Structure 1
């Protein structure tokens, strides 16, 4: 398959109907399996993924998408009370974890319970160009829709043209811009707010 070929769903099964910390304890977290392209499996993260996700996160750090300084030792835990395994979908390519996307409620308010927010999308450099980021994004959209959400949103740095192009190609529109909101590597960077409806 060409690296630029569109990603088509070959199998999609979303059995979980809760999100992250809102899920009751038990095996329900393990019931979602999403196959987007034949060589890429998307599944919910579990505690055993922590080390590989942490290493992936550190390796992928770039001022193109990061607002925090490059991580240094001693490293913070990847999972904690605010970053739970159930909030993450991971991509498995050729048997190895190769990316993740984090999907959460945007606030604890009941007034925003109909919205899901993407807070992180990372893909291993070795598999970029194979549709993994698009597969993760589509899986997050389907998970949000399966949970009954009406909208999905995200924030992206204004200078991250590749990410903005990906999001736009998947139906996300710019809904707001905070000009020069962030100072990164001596440059003032826009904070771009994007979103899309989950209605058919």
Structure 2
């Protein structure tokens, strides 16, 4: 009995591995655009349509797309005779020229780019935190009817009473202290009174 490799000498040994690197026509277009420098989101919109702008990140996670993009980048490096070390040398020369010209901003810029290439900068993460008092304020606003929200937007007084505590009286420990969200709502109401 013949082995698969003997029967089909041109095929790779593992059929799953070969299938993993096959791209659809649209994925190929996406890879070409990304290799040209188009952002993944814009490339996804151009290839898949405006409703698919979030698809760019998902495509970049697919092994076949990753592999094709890395291959395209390697081809670009070979075509333009570039490498990481040549780019780093260019930044170093730029920093040296900036130093000779006494241009500190250009020096900082060149060194910043070298630092990025070397991975010296931590990945930036931004975190948005909503305080409990802010959530309570949002719940209060969500509980209002459309008519009450319109009154609030126009600066009209809603049913009920409230007092604004300002200055040292409104310490963090004070139960009557306003949250930042509450203060923003009051400021918005007061700004509406000026009109």
Q: Same fold (TM over 0.5)?
A: no
Give the TM-score taking structure 1 as reference length: 0.19
- Structure with a larger share of its residues in helix: 2
| TM-score under structure 2 length normalisation | 0.19
Q: Which has the higher contact order (CA 8 A, sep 6+)?
A: 1
Bigger Rg, which one:
2
